[in-house]
């Protein structure tokens, strides 16, 4: 405090951090964010962790609580190896979409870095989580931690009761279907509250305890009429099972005839976790872009108000430029488009269009060019878009030229790629559409649905893969995944590849053809 | 104001359970890599961490994925320098149509198995009793020894003398009023009060009371024993000093010993070495190989160089005896011997072996283990019968006479342990009986 008094305004100096400095920095940054950027955030919980703990968090998909599974152990080994070889640095922070928003800070960070991370995660990501419509609709930030706690405890109890191998078999199968375990178009129900879950579990336990095989032998009470109804339901499974169904985990959880109640609950846990992460995958560019834009803007503001000194600012800028580094496609370091770089560039571009538009911008973005209040436009974009729509809406010709984007057509049966569009007048719209398309998660993952079940016969489950542009499934992993579905369904499962345009069946693969 | 939580001191190894699950899943493959490493590595290295390649079978995580070599797709790339629409770019050969993006191949991944995990895998088909496994895995016996004082510790370890000395020094330094001073003042007040009550006396009493009050407050503020005074006895875990041991590995390397035989022999040696390493602070290994003549060799030569010639076992015993005389006096060293052979010997030599063991070597050795490696098909022929190779018959007589001589026929790894059964019994120090 004495130092603060001598250097008014300076939040910290030197590279060592302590809790007092962290708290002061957070307060100053938060005040600035609310005042200057009008951010609206969850309360923040900052946790200081070591690198070992960061690796732990990495391997359990970034969640502070997770059930146990061998695949997390495998991922941990990979991460640890990459880290030790120096192939990859650890993230400086990890942020969890929960209320209060949990931010992990690494103990090795310098104070300048902690300030950067605070602005990036505790404000940028936090604002995005709280306001983006996908997160608001699809995830329940207040309930996720208690749900994971429940899941972990439930799975541990299952392991004790039914054995590791039995639990592992179900989890393996469910993990294989995580990609097909989300509702893409339907709004998912809220996570049930703790009390409801408890009630559900008690009911299941009661049913297990009071199970009496005799009830099964009772003749149907209402005579033949009811049976007819049921038969009719079975004859038209599309109606009774709500087919077609895109969420295979949901379908199996509700309709599988062989799963025990606890197995159903395991499938449900995996499905809910998959659903929780689905918005994050749809908003990578926006989420990282928002956080990067926020930290860059806030840090510069702090520097302008001389609340941080040159040394700290230089360190912050160095880290910032590392994060947004984007090599060109022919650079050996190229590994795809850096979402931090693209997001930040687009948001700064919106800022520029709003304040200093060119004639071209006025032509392309009549509603925001020269609007003046870039904060309002950005807040609106952060709240209402996902990557695909954001790029489709806001990628400007200026940026396409800056990035020198081009589109490469790739047909598997030809020996060469063909350049389809480049950054010129004819290409802008095509590049923008193609880039937006490539961020559309719903389109980019194989579209596989449950279409039919032979309820009256051998309970054969039919899945359909809609083949777009001739892209079929990788055979080895397809067979292995079908084997997992077969395990959850209990009866024959077949997957037909159907061309999306012509409707012609390309091939069909049944679990009978695959050796167990 | 955010909430801060310092998690750095949370228990480590949160993902240990996941690691164990992963190792269990990949068990077969890991076991194979450990076995290969033991086969090619040094005996002494078994008891350490090992680096193994990432197992692939059984640890795949399949999901529905697009086949990269089918259909039509578009890549959007940054950094165009000179391409115009319609340009054709040849695909990089061989790597398929994967397009841009380089993934680190998973084959490069190797990870470290801890010593415990390695031993667990090594023991798996040796069929050791659990107690023995536990015994071998525990590192060394430690004994706590006094090592000065510490400012932290558990209440049972408080060193009263030290604590009181510190307290005394602090009380003097901070000038804590002594009980005697208080007593003296009280005494004076009492005397004054009982005497006549003049104005001067009253003033004196008031002054004394004020002084008393000041001293008492001071006593309350300066504790008699303060937490900073407390000292604890510090203990250091020191390994219990143990004697030295030398292990002689004797092996017949004539042509009849093939890969399988050598592999079994090696496991036999490794097991003995693990045992010795646990018991003794310092262990040395001497390798003696023999055909019709015996030499001391290094480990590589021992296992990998072949030599042709006949088989005279007694030469190895001679050599062992010579080395003991020269370098390992029996009063300083615990001598263990492990001999592996296929049982062939010159008929006349077996008698010489018995005599040599009986007269000289068995007096010097703590333990002599002999394994005869036989074909799996022969197990049922030999069974428990006492006939067999000439060496076997000869050694049987030694076994009867000397309790610290053990022998066994082995065909599979599971047969090895019985040879050591006596060694690993609860009181494993073999009493040297005078013959």
d(CA B253, CA B316): 11
DSSP string, B328-347: --TTTEEEEEEEEE-S---H
Quick check: A74 and B59 CB within 8 A? yes
Specify the higher pLDDT residue, A191 or A178.
A178
For residue A249, being part of any structural domain is answered with no
**How high is the pLDDT of residue A348?**
93
Q: Could you give the maximum distance between any two Cα atoms of chain A, in Å?
A: 92
Chain A CB contacts of B20 below 8 Å: 73
Q: How far is B113 from chain A (nearest CA, A)?
A: 11
d(CA A120, CA A131): 16
Q: What are the structure tokens assigned to B91, written together?
A: 């695909």
Q: Which of A147, A162, A149 is nearest to A259 (CA)?
A: A162
Chain A CB contacts of B91 below 8 Å: 415-417
Quick check: A435 and B76 CB within 8 A? yes
For residue A237, being part of any structural domain is answered with no
How many Cβ pairs closer than 8 A exist between chain A and B? 252
Peptide bond into B435 cis (omega under 30): no
**Dihedral angle of Cα A146, A150, A156, A162, to the nearest 10 degrees:** -160
**How high is the pLDDT of residue B83?**
86
Q: How confident is the model over B91-116, as a mean pLDDT? A: 58
Residue A281 CB contacts under 8 Å (≥ 6 apart), including other chains: A441
Quick check: B78 and A337 CB within 8 A? yes
Q: Is the pLDDT of residue B423 over 70?
A: no
Quick check: B19 and A465 CB within 8 A? no
List the single residue in B5, B84, B100 with the smallest CB-CB distance to A329: B100
In the CATH hierarchy, which top-level class contains the domain B244-420? alpha beta
Quick check: A404 and B79 CB within 8 A? yes
**Percent of chain B predicted with pLDDT > 70:** 83
CB of A380 within 8 Å of a chain B CB? The answer is no
Q: What are the structure tokens assigned to A371, written together?
A: 């609007």
**How high is the pLDDT of residue A235?**
56
List the single residue in A52, A437, A471 with the smallest CB-CB distance to B66: A471
pLDDT in tens, B225-273: 988 899 999 988 776 655 677 888 888 877 677 778 888 888 888 888 8
Are A306 and A401 in a shared domain?
Answer: no
Quick check: B91 and A76 CB within 8 A? no
Q: Which of A169, A340, A406, A482 to mutate to test the interface with B (most CBs of B within 10 A)?
A: A406
Are A65 and A127 in a shared domain?
Answer: yes
**How high is the pLDDT of residue A400?**
92
**How high is the pLDDT of residue B379?**
64
Q: Which of B260, B412, B424 is nearest to B336 (CA)?
A: B424
Quick check: A45 and B87 CB within 8 A? no
Quick check: B72 and A80 CB within 8 A? no
Q: How far is B130 from chain A (nearest CA, A)?
A: 22
Rounded to 5°, angle at Cα B58 from B54 and B59: 50
For residue A184, being part of any structural domain is answered with no
pLDDT in tens, A195-207: 666 777 777 777 7
ipTM reported for the complex, 2 dp = 0.79
**How high is the pLDDT of residue A8?**
56
List the single residue in B12, B91, B102 with the smallest CB-CB distance to A417: B91
CB of B107 within 8 Å of a chain A CB? The answer is no
> Residue B3: how many CB atoms within 10 A of its CB?
11
Q: Is the pLDDT of residue A399 over 70?
A: yes
Quick check: A422 and B2 CB within 8 A? no
CB of B25 within 8 Å of a chain A CB? The answer is yes
Q: How far is A86 from chain B (nearest CA, A)?
A: 14
Chain B CB contacts of A175 below 8 Å: 61, 63
For residue A407, being part of any structural domain is answered with yes
For residue A268, being part of any structural domain is answered with no
Q: What are the structure tokens assigned to B382, written together?
A: 């030999």
Are A293 and A364 in a shared domain?
Answer: no
**How high is the pLDDT of residue A301?**
92
Residue B88 CB contacts under 8 Å (≥ 6 apart), including other chains: A416, A417, A418, A419
What pTM does this model have?
0.72
Q: How far is B68 from chain A (nearest CA, A)?
A: 8
Q: Which of B15, B93, B101 to mutate to test the interface with A (most CBs of A within 10 A)?
A: B15
Q: Is the pLDDT of residue B421 over 80?
A: no
pLDDT in tens, A52-65: 888 888 777 777 78
Chain A CB contacts of B110 below 8 Å: 81
CB of A449 within 8 Å of a chain B CB? The answer is no
Q: Which A-chain residues 7-66 have CB contacts (< 8 A) with chain B?
A: 19, 22-23, 26-27, 43-50, 52-53, 55-56, 59-60
pLDDT in tens, B335-377: 888 888 887 777 778 888 888 888 888 888 878 888 888 877 7
Q: What are the structure tokens assigned to A393, written together?
A: 């809406």
Quick check: A70 and B68 CB within 8 A? no
Q: Which of A104, A160, A419, A469 to mutate to test the interface with B (most CBs of B within 10 A)?
A: A419
Please state the domain count of chain A. 3
Quick check: B67 and A481 CB within 8 A? no
Look up the domain containing A309 and give its range. 11-132+283-314
**Percent of chain B predicted with pLDDT > 90:** 7
Most confident of A410-419, B157-166, B277-286, B334-343: B157-166
For residue A23, being part of any structural domain is answered with yes
Are A22 and A71 in a shared domain?
Answer: yes
Are A416 and A433 in a shared domain?
Answer: yes
Report the sign of the C-alpha dihedral through residues B273, B276, B282, B288, in that order.
Answer: negative
d(CA B35, CA B340): 19
d(CA B273, CA B267): 10
List the single residue in B2, B60, B89 with the smallest CB-CB distance to A46: B2
Q: What are the structure tokens assigned to B157, written together?
A: 């370890």
Q: CA Rg, chain B, in Å?
A: 38
CB A307 within 8 A of CB A10: yes
CB of A417 within 8 Å of a chain B CB? The answer is yes
Q: Which B-chain residues 414-433 have CB contacts (< 8 A) with chain A?
A: none
List the single residue in B12, B19, B72 with the smallest CB-CB distance to A76: B19
Chain A CB contacts of B62 below 8 Å: 176, 476-477, 480-481, 484
d(CA B31, CA B124): 8
Chain A CB contacts of B11 below 8 Å: none
Are A421 and A478 in a shared domain?
Answer: no
**How high is the pLDDT of residue B355?**
85
Chain B CB contacts of A329 below 8 Å: 77-80, 100
User: pLDDT-based confidence at A3, cuts 50/70/90?
Assistant: very low
Q: Which of A232-236, A429-433, A473-477 has the lowest mean pLDDT?
A: A232-236
What is the b/e burial string over B117-150, where b = at least 16 CB atoms within 10 angstroms of the residue's CB? bbbbbbbbebebeeebbebbeeeeeeeeeeeeee
> Residue A511: how many CB atoms within 10 A of its CB?
21
User: pLDDT-based confidence at A129, cuts 50/70/90?
Assistant: very high
CB of A69 within 8 Å of a chain B CB? The answer is yes
Chain A CB contacts of B6 below 8 Å: 47-48
Q: Is the pLDDT of residue B433 over 50?
A: no
Q: Is the pLDDT of residue B383 over 60?
A: no
> Residue B46: how many CB atoms within 10 A of its CB?
23
CB of B385 within 8 Å of a chain A CB? The answer is no
For residue A347, being part of any structural domain is answered with yes
Are A341 and A419 in a shared domain?
Answer: yes
Are A333 and A426 in a shared domain?
Answer: yes
**How high is the pLDDT of residue A12?**
84
The secondary element (H helix, E strand) that includes residue A307 is none
Residue A209 CB contacts under 8 Å (≥ 6 apart), including other chains: none
Quick check: A27 and B104 CB within 8 A? no
Q: What are the structure tokens assigned to B336, written together?
A: 């263990």
Chain B CB contacts of A50 below 8 Å: 8
**How high is the pLDDT of residue B99?**
41
* Ramachandran sector of residue A460 (left: φ over 0; alpha: ψ -120 to 50; beta: rest): beta
Q: Which of A64-73, B70-79, B387-396 has the lowest mean pLDDT?
A: B387-396
Quick check: A410 and B104 CB within 8 A? no
Q: How far is A318 from chain B (nearest CA, A)?
A: 23
CATH 3.40.50.410 residue spans of chain B: 244-420
């Amino acid at each position: 405090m004495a130092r603060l008094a001598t250097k008014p305004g300076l939040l910290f100096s030197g590279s060592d951090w302590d809790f007092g400095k962290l708290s002061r920095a957070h307060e100053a940054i938060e005040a600035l964010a609310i005042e200057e950027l009008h951010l609206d955030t969850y309360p923040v919980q900052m946790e200081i962790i070591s690198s070992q703990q960061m690796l732990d968090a990495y391997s359990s998909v970034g969640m502070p609580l997770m059930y146990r599974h061998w695949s997390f152990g495998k991922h941990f080994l990979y991460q640890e190896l990459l880290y030790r070889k120096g192939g990859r640095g650890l993230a400086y922070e990890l942020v969890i979409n929960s209320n209060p928003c949990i931010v992990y800070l690494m103990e090795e960070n310098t104070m300048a870095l902690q300030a950067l991370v605070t602005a990036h995660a505790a404000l940028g990501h936090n604002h995005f989580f709280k306001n983006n419509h996908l997160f608001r609709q699809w995830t329940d930030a207040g309930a996720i931690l208690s749900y994971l706690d429940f899941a972990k405890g439930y799975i541990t109890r299952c392991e004790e009761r039914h054995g590791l191998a039995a639990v592992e078999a179900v989890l393996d199968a469910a993990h294989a279907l995580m990609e097909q375990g989300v509702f893409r178009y339907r709004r998912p129900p809220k996570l049930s509250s703790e009390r409801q879950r408890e009630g559900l579990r008690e009911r299941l336990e009661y049913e297990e305890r009071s199970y009496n095989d005799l009830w099964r032998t009772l003749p149907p009470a209402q005579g033949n009429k009811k049976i007819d109804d049921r038969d009719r339901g079975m004859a038209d499974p599309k109606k009774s099972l709500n087919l077609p169904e895109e969420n295979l985990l949901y379908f199996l959880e509700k309709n599988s005839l062989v799963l025990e109640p606890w197995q159903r609950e395991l499938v449900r846990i995996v499905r809910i976790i998959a659903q929780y992460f689905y918005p994050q995958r749809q908003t990578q560019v926006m989420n990282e872009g928002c956080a990067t834009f926020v930290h860059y803007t806030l840090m510069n503001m702090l520097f302008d108000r001389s609340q941080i000194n040159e040394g700290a600012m230089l360190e912050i800028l160095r880290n910032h430029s590392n994060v947004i580094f984007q090599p060109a496609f022919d650079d050996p370091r190229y590994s795809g488009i850096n979402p931090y770089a693209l997001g930040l560039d687009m948001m700064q571009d919106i800022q520029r269009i709003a304040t200093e538009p060119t004639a071209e911008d006025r032509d392309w973005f009549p509603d925001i060019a020269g609007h003046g209040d870039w904060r309002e436009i950005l807040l609106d974009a952060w709240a209402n878009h996902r990557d695909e729509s954001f790029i489709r809406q806001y990628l400007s010709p200026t940026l396409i030229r800056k990035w020198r984007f081009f589109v490469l057509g790739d047909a598997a049966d030809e020996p060469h790629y063909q350049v389809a569009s480049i950054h010129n007048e004819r290409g802008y719209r095509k590049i923008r559409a193609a880039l937006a398309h490539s961020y559309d998660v719903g389109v980019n993952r194989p579209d596989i649905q449950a279409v039919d079940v032979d309820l009256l016969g051998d309970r054969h489950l039919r899945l359909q893969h809609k083949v777009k542009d001739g892209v079929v499934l990788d055979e080895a992993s397809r067979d292995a995944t079908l084997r997992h579905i077969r395990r959850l369904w209990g009866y024959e499962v077949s997957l037909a590849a159907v061309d999306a345009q012509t409707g012609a069946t390309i091939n069909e693969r049944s679990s009978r053809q695959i050796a167990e | 104001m955010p909430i801060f939580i310092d998690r750095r001191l949370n228990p480590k190894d949160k993902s240990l359970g996941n690691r164990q699950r992963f190792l269990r899943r990949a068990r077969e493959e890991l076991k194979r890599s450990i076995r290969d490493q033991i086969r090619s590595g040094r005996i002494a290295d078994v008891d350490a961490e090992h680096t193994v390649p990432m197992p692939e079978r059984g640890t795949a995580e399949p999901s529905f994925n697009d086949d990269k070599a089918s259909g039509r797709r578009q890549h959007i790339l940054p950094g165009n320098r000179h391409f115009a629409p319609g340009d054709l770019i040849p695909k990089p050969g061989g790597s398929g149509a994967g397009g841009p993006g380089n993934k680190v191949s998973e084959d490069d991944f190797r990870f470290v198995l801890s010593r415990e995990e390695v031993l667990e895998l090594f023991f798996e088909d040796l069929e050791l009793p659990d107690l023995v496994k536990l015994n071998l895995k525990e590192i060394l016996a430690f004994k706590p020894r006094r090592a000065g004082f510490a400012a932290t510790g558990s209440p049972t370890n408080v060193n009263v003398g030290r604590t009181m000395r510190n307290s005394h020094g602090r009380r003097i330094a901070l000038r804590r009023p002594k009980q005697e001073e208080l007593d003296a003042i009280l005494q004076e007040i009492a005397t004054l009060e009982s005497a006549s009550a003049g104005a001067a006396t009253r003033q004196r009493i008031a002054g004394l009371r004020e002084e008393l009050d000041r001293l008492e407050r001071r006593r309350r503020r300066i504790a008699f024993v303060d937490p900073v005074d407390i000292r604890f006895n510090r203990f250091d875990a020191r390994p219990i000093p143990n004697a030295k041991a030398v292990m002689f590995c004797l092996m017949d390397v004539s042509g009849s010993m093939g890969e399988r035989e050598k592999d079994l022999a090696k496991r036999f040696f490794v097991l003995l070495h693990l045992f010795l390493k646990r018991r003794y602070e310092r262990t040395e290994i001497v390798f003696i190989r023999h055909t019709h003549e015996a030499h001391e060799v290094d480990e590589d030569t021992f296992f990998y160089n072949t030599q042709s010639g006949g088989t005279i076992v007694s030469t190895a015993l001679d050599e062992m005896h010579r080395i003991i005389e020269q370098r390992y006096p029996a009063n300083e060293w615990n001598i263990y011997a492990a001999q592996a052979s296929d049982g062939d010997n010159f008929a006349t030599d077996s008698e010489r072996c018995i005599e040599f063991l009986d007269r000289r070597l068995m007096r010097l050795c703590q333990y002599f283990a002999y394994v005869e490696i036989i074909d799996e098909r022969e197990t049922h022929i030999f069974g428990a019968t006492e006939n067999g190779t000439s060496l076997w018959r000869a050694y049987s007589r030694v076994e009867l006479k000397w309790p610290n001589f053990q022998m066994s026929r082995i065909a599979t790894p599971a047969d090895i342990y019985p040879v050591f059964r006596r060694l690993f019994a609860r009181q494993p120090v073999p009493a040297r009986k005078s013959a």
